[in-house]
Amino acid sequence: MNYETLATKIVELVGGADNISGLTHCATRLRFNLKDESKAQTEALKTTPGVLGVAKGGGQYQVIIGNDVEKVYKLVRPFLNGNLENDKDQGEKKGLGSRFIDTISSIFTPVLPAITASGMLKAVLALLVAFKWISAQSQIYQVVNLMADAAFYFLPLLLAISAAKKFRANTYLAVMIGGILLHPTFIQMVMAAKQSGDSIHFGFLPIYPASYASSVVPIILTIWCMSYVEAFAKKITPKMISFFVVPLITVFVTGLIALVAAGPLGFHIGNGLASVVLFLDAHVGWLVPMVLGTVLPLLVMTGTHYGIVPLGPANIMNLGYDTIIGPSNMPSNIAQGGAALAVAVKSKNNDIKQLGFSSGFTAVCGITEPALYGIHLRFKTPLYASMLGGGLGGLFLGLMGVRRYAPGSPGLLTLPVYIGKDGFTNLAYAVIGCVIAFVSAFIASYILFKEEKEESKEVELMQELGEQEKLQKIYAPVTGELIPLTDVSDDTFAQEILGKGIAILPQSSEFVSPIAGKVTMVYETMHAIGLVSNSGAEILIHIGIDTVKLNGKYFTSHIKKGDQVAVGTPLMTVDLAGIKSEGFSTETPIIITNSNDFEEILPTDEKNVAAGQPILKLIK
């Protein structure tokens, strides 16, 4: 995979760097904030090699890459040239719900690695204690435990950093504000006030005696307020003294807001959420895990699951356990893995088998996007099977009151976070719930899955021929609308005099290689290119009809005769509007000039294709 080419293509298809107002990434997705989503070429993106799918939701335009998302993110980021930091409120207007989910997602996504690390350390400790390899009173336990607790205790500082970036406030001042809420002196004042029953005041302003260690909502509210305070301070302060005065005003005013208003408000909101969890746990503990376990794949599709993910760590911080997010998410992930593995077992297509096995194992370990977009949405029935399995597994965990005691990516690797004070009982129920989710999803997916007709035909042809190598694929050299070769306005092509093939009405100026092989010819007028694939297919790409008369005008070549190319290597940049302005058609035939060497040349049934999408199958 050429990640540089993929990054360039993604930026182009989301509307260009100027259309991007925000960019983050999670475990599998690039998460864009676009100024105008209508400029994004969604269908072209979906068929771009290296892109598993596209989702819109939560105020974000999400491009699903898979496990290599960080590599692509690092290559996409330089295209933006600092535009993200200077672009305020220029994107398209979004609803309140979308903006809320976008905000939560943008703030929590960067700190998830720290939370996950803490959860994994807690899981390791739970195993070591459960098997009596170390004592909970030993110094080894205490040292590792304080490492794990660090991310939780100082979570307001971590969230202050990401919230400052989201609200475009000064990061270091934001961390300072978080430090105010966690300062030992303030903690001592709170403890003293609670013991004596006295109150804390700043002049006539009351300061609520709350502890903000491990809290979530207070710091987010505070940094949101800080962004306005800082902006106002910059506005009223002369530039000559702004370096000194702006930080002074920002920290003093925001610090008071945090201690007097935003902090207490966030504290009570957090307690309110904890009360809701306790109520649901006491009265309908089975309902939420069952419902969320069923619908979670749909939430992940749209990215709206990030609106509820923070509830899990928040429950653990406030209550010491989580009975909602973890016990819902884990059976859903396991079920998605089971459904994908069933497809891998049943399919006769080697590509689908490989994708099913790899994405299935990834899903049971906690990352579901490859299975969701590579298998479930493609074939639909595995999606239904995974929803069934997730619902049944969630129902069992809810009925048994299964609790998660530390956060982490919900999957087999983090099962130890279900080890509680009652020994292995809670863990045993968690394992049973996973088995229920996996088995039911696997069986349902295996029964419901049917091979796609085109792929079944391809497999049958390959079996008849006896060798997989006898099938070759030719990929689209340009994004556009496919037309039969017989409909091309030039009889030389329409009558298949030069060979069989297909034609494209291009919608992009960039033409790329449709095969891996070698350039055999580039006409002086650059309107036609000859290539030969490593498997022996000879291809002619003729850009436009009668465009030889333009003598190279509107054409810019990126290759020369003898160059080695891969699928997607840039070949030519063409000014399509210029060609049309001269009265020429841009119909682009793709001809297999050695058609007689192949028993079958099968065109795709698609009407529109993106560059890099298969358009012809050649059978020897």
Which residues are known catalytic residues?
26, 542
- DSSP character string of 435-471: HHHHHHHHHHHHHH----HHHHHHHHHHHHHS-GGGE
Burial class (CB in 10 A: 0-12, 13-18, 19+), 484: exposed
CA 98 to chain CA centroid, Å, is 17
Neighbours of 183 (CB within 10 A): 12
Residue 475: which residues within 8 A CB-CB, separation 6 or more? 514, 515, 567, 568, 611, 612, 613, 614, 615
Torsions phi, psi of 501, nearest 5? 170, -145
**Paired tokens of 223:** 């940094």
Token pair 């107002």: residue: 21
Q: Count of CB atoms within 10 A of residue 279's CB?
A: 10
In whole angstroms, give the CA distance from residue 131 to residue 123: 12
Beta strands in 308-375 (DSSP E): none
All residues at 6 or more sequence positions from 106 whose CB lies less than 8 Å from its CB, including other chains: 22, 24, 31, 162, 165, 166
AA identity, residue 480: G
Number of other residues whose CB lies within 10 A of the CB of residue 3: 16
Residues in Cβ contact with 86 at an 8 Å cutoff, skipping those fewer than 6 apart: none
Which helix H or strand E contains 140, and what residues bound it? helix 139-153
339 CB neighbour count, 10 Å cutoff: 39
Q: Is 532 helix (H, G, I), strand (E, B) or coil?
A: strand
Contact indicator for 328, 293 with CB cutoff of 8 Å:
yes
CB-based contacts of 350, cutoff 8 Å, min separation 6: 468
State the DSSP code for 81: T
Residue 513 to residue 519: CA distance in whole angstroms: 9
How many Å apart are CA 177 and CA 171, to the nearest integer?
10
State how far the Cα of 499 lies from the Cα of 518, in Å rounded to an integer.
Answer: 19
Count Cβ atoms below 10 Å from residue 556 Cβ, excluding itself: 12
Residues ≥6 apart with Cβ < 8 Å to 19:
34, 35, 36, 39, 40
Phi-psi region of 453 (alpha: psi -120 to 50; beta: other; left: phi over 0): alpha
